[in-house]
Amino acid sequence: MLKTAVTEMLGIEHPIVQGGMMHVGRAELAAAVSNAGGLGILTALTQPTPEDLVKEIARCREMTDKPFGVNITLLPTIKPVPYDEYAQAAIDGGVKIIETAGRSPEPFMGAFKAAGIKVIHKCTSVRHALKAEKIGCDMVSIDGFECAGHPGEDDIPGLLLIPCAANVLKIPMLASGGFGDGRGLAAALALGADGINMGTRFLATKEAPVHDNIKKQMVDASELDTTLIFRTLRNTARVFKNSIAQQVVEIEAKPGETNFEDLAPLVAGVKGREVLDKGDMEYGIWTAGMVVGLIHDIPDCDTLVKRIVADAQEIISARLSGMMLQS
d(CA 269, CA 154): 25
**Nearest Cα to 6, choosing from 159, 192, 156, 210?**
192
Tens-digit pLDDT profile for residues 42-63: 999 999 999 999 999 999 999 9
**Nearest Cα to 36, choosing from 179, 210, 205?**
205
**Residue spans of beta strands (DSSP E) within 126-187:** 139-143, 173-176
Instruction: Tell me the CATH number for domain 5-209+298-323.
Output: 3.20.20.70
Q: How confident is the model at residue 248 (pLDDT cuts 50, 70, 90)?
A: very high
Element (H, E) at 260: helix 260-267
Range(s) of the chain covered by CATH 3.20.20.70: 5-209+298-323
Q: How confident is the model at residue 318 (pLDDT cuts 50, 70, 90)?
A: confident
Residue 88, classified by CB atoms within 10 Å of its CB into exposed (0-12), middle (13-18) or buried (19+), is middle
**Nearest Cα to 98, choosing from 81, 73, 123, 131?**
73
Tens-digit pLDDT profile for residues 112-133: 999 999 999 999 999 999 999 9
d(CA 158, CA 177): 7
How many alpha carbons lie under 13 Å from residue 6 in its C-beta half-sphere?
A: 26
pTM beyond 0.85: the answer is yes
